[in-house]
Amino acid sequence: MVILIVERAPPGLRGELTRWFLEPKAGVFVGRVSGMVRDRLWDKACDNAGEGGCVMIHTSNNEQGYRIRSYGKTARCIEDFEGLFLVRLA
């Protein structure tokens, strides 16, 4: 499972992501893709984020069961605290 949240993203990026994910709310994309596709979509989102930012949450084999990636200017900061991902307001 992959959740990708884009903030202040250009419409072209959002349109591209809807080819791979369901968009239940503006800027929030959910889907199930392979690891290779997930990484390529992450690179595309980061390259085209412009002044915005993105956060990706995907399943992983760790204690929490997921991994979080963050890029650019987002409303929340992701911090790794001794292997646990925590979220705080920016």
Average pLDDT on 8-37 reads 94
What pLDDT is recorded for position 76?
A: 85
Give the chain's domain count: 1
Q: Which pLDDT score is estimated for 63?
A: 85
Domain range for residue 36?
A: 2-89
**Average confidence (pLDDT) over 78-87:** 85
Structure-token pair, residue 70: 């963050």
Bridge partner residues of 14 (DSSP): none
CA distance 90 to 39: 25
Q: What is the pLDDT confidence band of residue 44, given thresholds at 50, 70 and 90?
A: very high
Name the DSSP class of 70: E
Confidence (pLDDT) at 85: 85
Q: Which residue has the tokens 């979080």?
A: 68
Given a contact cutoff of 8 angstroms between Cβ atoms, the answer to whether 68 and 85 are in contact is yes
Q: What is the CATH number of the domain that holds 44?
A: 3.30.70.240
Q: Closest by alpha carbon to 6, among 50, 36, 40, 66?
A: 50
Q: What is the pTM of this model?
A: 0.88
Question: H/E element holding 36?
Answer: helix 35-47
Name the residue type at position 10.
Answer: P
**pLDDT bucket at 86, cuts 50 / 70 / 90:** confident
